[in-house]
């Protein structure tokens, strides 16, 4: 199962710049933070004319997201380009995304790579992460796992959970770095701590097996539960197995069935748990299905 997860990690291409209004105290950003997008756009245009690079970036954000105005990637790219030319890393990153995906501008992985690189060198974690992926996939950059790992490490150190998780996988499988199970566990643990469900599962498995980290089944079980509550079906089946086998928790077949049914609804089967399920009494089965309904409606009201 761990091999599969890692395959998915490396393919993952999460691109998130985070909130644009990163505590810029200009009037346009304040209006933006208050949700007054049209006011923010008007103010940003004035500030931009006066030479504010961040104001261009904000205009780009408003057009890219279609906040209070019609979504317009071409206008967004134009505004980002001005902010990028003036040296705003957020604008460079956001423009890089549009260029990488060919939205509002012609798709060009190489230019996207240049833009990510500028922003990455200025310390933008999302850009560092995306640059690492370009090196990993050989898109716009010659494939280079060592460089991919270097940028991934910078993004991870900047606190990007997806990068922490991926860097953990790099260490686990020796992609661009020597295999190092301890570092693999360390970074997976950080991403798990940040709440990334896939990392919680991965790290929990390490805790159960004592791979790269001291064995701690109780902590592992907690992480499976956190990820299961987030709706991760692999974690739901793992949690179900703990209840079915009486590991960490007392045997509780209804709880086991509840979590397994949820995983199965999400399309992940587990033959051993299916067998367990078929042995339940009608009463247990009904109780488990009620628990599933309660869990699902609990999520809807969140």
Task: Decide: 146 and 116 in contact? Cβ < 8 Å.
Answer: no
For residue 218, the minimal CB distance to other proteins (Å) is 21
Which residue's CB is nearer to other proteins, number 271 or number 302?
Answer: 271
Number of residues that bind other proteins (CB under 8 A): 15
3 state SS of 210: coil
What are the phi and psi torsion angles at 30 (to 5°)?
-65, -45
What is residue 141's DSSP assignment?
A: S
Between CA 176 and CA 225 the distance in angstroms is 32
Q: Is 286 helix (H, G, I), strand (E, B) or coil?
A: helix
Cβ neighbours for 256, distance < 8 A, ≥ 6 positions apart: 240, 241, 242, 243, 244, 273, 276
Residue closer to other proteins by CB (options 278, 301) is 278
**Closest by CA position to 74, among listed 99, 109, 111, 48:** 99
Stretch 5-44 residues interacting with other proteins (CB under 8 A) = 7
How far apart are CB 222 and other proteins at their closest, in Å? Answer: 23
Q: Applying CB under 8 A, does 283 fall inside the site for other proteins?
A: no
Please state the length of the chain. Answer: 302
From the CB of residue 219, how many other CB atoms can be counted at a distance below 10 Å?
Answer: 18
Residues 125-184 that bind other proteins (CB under 8 A): none
The stretch near other proteins (CB under 8 A) out of 3-11, 48-56, 81-89, 251-259 is 3-11
DSSP state, residue 25:
-
- Which residues from 247-276 bind other proteins, rule CB under 8 A? 267-272, 274-275
For other proteins, the closer CB: 34 or 265? 265
**Between 49 and 265, CB nearer to other proteins:** 265
Q: Which is nearer to other proteins, 8 or 74 (CB)?
A: 8
Give the Cα separation of 207 and 239 in Å (integer). 14
In whole angstroms, the minimum distance from the beta carbon of 3 to other proteins comes to 8
- Nearest approach, Cβ of residue 150 and other proteins (Å): 30
**Least distance from C-beta 124 to other proteins, angstroms?**
35
| CB of 48 or CB of 205, closer to other proteins | 205
DSSP for 56-117, please give it: HHHHHHHHHHTSSS---HHHHHHHHHHHHHTT-HHHHHHHHHHHHHTSSS---HHHHHHHHH
Shortest distance, position 8 Cβ to other proteins, whole Å: 10
Binding residue for other proteins, selected from 51, 106, 178, 278, defined by CB under 8 A: 278
Based on CB atoms, which residue is closest to other proteins, 1 or 294? 1
What binding mask, one character per residue, do residues 216-235 give for other proteins by CB under 8 A, x or -? ------------------x-
Which chain residues interact with other proteins by CB under 8 A?
1, 3-4, 7, 234, 267-272, 274-275, 278-279
């Amino acid at each position: 199962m761990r091999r599969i997860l890692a395959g998915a990690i490396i393919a993952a291409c999460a691109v998130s710049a985070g909130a644009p209004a990163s505590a810029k105290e200009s009037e346009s950003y304040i209006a933006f933070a208050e949700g007054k997008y049209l006011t923010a756009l008007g103010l940003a245009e004035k500030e931009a004319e006066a030479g504010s690079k961040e104001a261009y970036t904000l205009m780009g954000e408003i057009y890219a997201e279609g906040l209070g105005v019609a979504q317009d990637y071409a206008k967004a790219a134009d505004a980002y380009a001005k902010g990028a030319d003036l040296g705003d890393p957020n604008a460079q990153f956001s423009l890089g995304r549009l260029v990488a995906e060919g939205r509002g501008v012609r798709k060009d992985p190489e230019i996207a790579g240049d833009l990510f690189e500028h922003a990455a060198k200025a310390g933008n974690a999302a850009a560092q992460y995306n640059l690492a992926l370009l090196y990993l996939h050989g898109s716009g950059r010659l494939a280079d796992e060592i460089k991919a790992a270097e940028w991934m490490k910078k993004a991870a150190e900047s606190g990007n959970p997806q990068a922490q998780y991926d860097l953990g996988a790099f260490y686990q499988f020796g992609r661009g770095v020597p295999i190092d199970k301890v570092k693999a566990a360390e970074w997976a643990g950080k991403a798990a701590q940040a709440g990334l469900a896939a990392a919680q599962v991965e790290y929990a498995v390490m805790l159960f097996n004592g791979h790269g980290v001291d064995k701690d089944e109780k902590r592992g079980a907690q992480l499976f539960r956190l990820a299961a509550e987030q709706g991760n079906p692999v974690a739901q089946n793992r949690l179900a197995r703990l209840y079915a086998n009486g590991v960490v928790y007392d045997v509780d077949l209804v709880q086991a069935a509840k979590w397994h049914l949820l995983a199965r609804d999400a399309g992940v089967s587990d033959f051993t748990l299916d067998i367990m399920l078929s042995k339940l009494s009608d009463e247990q089965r009904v109780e488990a299905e009620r628990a599933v309904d309660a869990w699902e409606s609990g999520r809807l009201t969140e």
